[in-house]
Amino acid sequence: VDVVSGSPAASAGLQADDVITAVDGTSVTRPLELAQQIRSHQSGDQVKIAYSRGGNAAEAQVTLANRSSDNQPNS
């Protein structure tokens, strides 16, 4: 829904309303699946995020940061 300014997602170019479709090649369709995929990695890991923006598919490389309770996706 939103991308936190200064977050790894924002730094990688992700924007509000982008629809994330996969993390490192693993399809995600719900926020809970996205959270599980991200949690399976460590801070500092790089992950490839596939997403759709305005009907166009794209990918971004994101370097994960420390997790905070303020940035946890809702299920």
Query: Which pLDDT score is estimated for 74?
Result: 46
- How buried is 56 (Cβ within 10 angstroms: 0-12 exposed, 13-18 middle, 19+ buried)? exposed
pTM to 2 decimal places? 0.81
d(CA 71, CA 22): 19
Q: What is the pLDDT of residue 71?
A: 47
What is residue 56's predicted lDDT score, i.e. its pLDDT? 97
pLDDT of residue 2: 84
| Residue pLDDT tens, the chain, 75 long | 689 999 999 999 999 999 999 999 999 999 999 999 999 999 999 999 999 999 999 999 999 998 664 444 444
Q: What is the DSSP letter of 10?
A: H
11 CA to centre of own chain = 11
Strand partners, 50: 22, 59
